[in-house]
Structure 1
Amino acid sequence: MKNIVLVILLLSSTGVFAAQVDSLFMRANKLYQNEKYSEALELYKEIEKHNITSDDVLYNIANTYYKMNKVAPAIYYYEKVLQQSPNHADAKFNLAFAQRMTLDNIEPLPKTIWQKINDSIILKFSYNTWAWIAVSLSFLFAVLFLLYHFSYSTASKRFYFASSFISAFLTVLMIAIAYQNYKYVKSNQEAIVFAQQTEVKTAPTVSSEVSFELHEGTKVKVLESLDNWKKIKIADGKIGWIVADDIKEL
């Protein structure tokens, strides 16, 4: 009986919390529509503090920063949306506009065939999405195999056997893609430059030579960390050390 009461209380508190978040989100949206961007941002960030990072919340935070002409935070949150949902069309579109506000004009290196395959297939969805596809296919395999086992018709048995074999193969393929996606994301830590202007050094010391400069909103790849320094790589292949506080990792 005590356990039942605890479950009811937990469900009730969850429902109340969800209602409070919905109320905050609606109020924030109303403030945004009325062009009260600073006030809207406070409410969106309040929602984010509760570890609620849905696409809608992150996307609205990005839009609010964009309206406030804050380039780096806007790009950062558009990128966060695309990390979760790589095919979010609105985030892609708005990110392109936000990137036009950056000062650094970096020409990316040409992509290899593997990189093109990686971008067009493996990174098409997040690793969570690929994993769910794999789970769905595994259930399909189980159903088809049971139908094959209990079927009496020879033609049906052939069909169910072939279908179950294909679904099993696709399940393994989706698991492999999900793993490659996960491995890529974890080994390719990216960050956004938040400093208005920063110097990238040849070594992780203040006295070392300046290799090049970066400005807010530029995306970099983090290769290594040392004390308060980050070794970074930009799209054109240049590498250097930057003060850790000048960037924010995605």
Structure 2
Amino acid sequence: MALRTLFRCSSLVVREFGALSKRTQKWTSAVTGGTSGGSHGVLIAPVPPVRHYARALRRKAVPESQLSDLQPSLLRMDYAAVPAAQTTDDLVRRLISLELACHSDKLRLKKEQLVQKVRRDENDRSSVEVKVAVLTARIRNFKEHLQKHHKDKANKRHMLLAVDQRKKLLKRLRLVNHEAFQRVCTLLDISYSFPPEYYRPATRRWLAKKALCMKVYQEVQKHKADLRLKLRKEVLSSSSSSSSSQ
């Protein structure tokens, strides 16, 4: 059994070697023009394939981050109001500065800078302008994260929710105080797009549903009016009976 297997393997190797030699002879005859020797028969070595090991990588252009304008020498928010942090030595100041700070500390400082741009006074922390500034910093942070990790569906959902919430706040601010709305959009570099006008084709089903809703609404209003009239009559009868008893 072992001899039979060895014989099959050896015959397969001989067959493959013969086919390879035939292909080599055909290629050589095609290159040399059909001559096997002489002065015109020149054998050209095959060109090795290019592996592109040193090919330059095509990297996408990453936009500038909103945290790039923060200077590394700035102190964190927890130490900015401490008087001793201003007079400490260079090593301690480096430890409490933004040079060795994490991303969340830098984002907090960026939110505070945006809030200081649009707040109404020094103690304003709950106005519509402040909420819009905080949401703007969060949205830009989510956008930068999704440009690096585009498959992060959870953060994409949070970003869309924040965008919808900011749009509602800007819409209310535009209706209440248009000057403050323009100032916020200018200072925070926000492009507000107006919502499209509502349009719905009037189909027969929609008209029938609208007629039914109107009929139900009228019946409910009629029932409420009857209840109010009945309650008024009861109050008048009770007041008349009390006056007659006196």
Both proteins in one fold, TM over 0.5: no
TM-score by length of 1: 0.22
Structure number with the bigger relative contact order (C-alpha 8 A, sep ≥ 6) is: 1
Structure with greater strand percent:
1
TM-score by length of 2: 0.22
* Bigger Rg, structure 1 or 2: 2
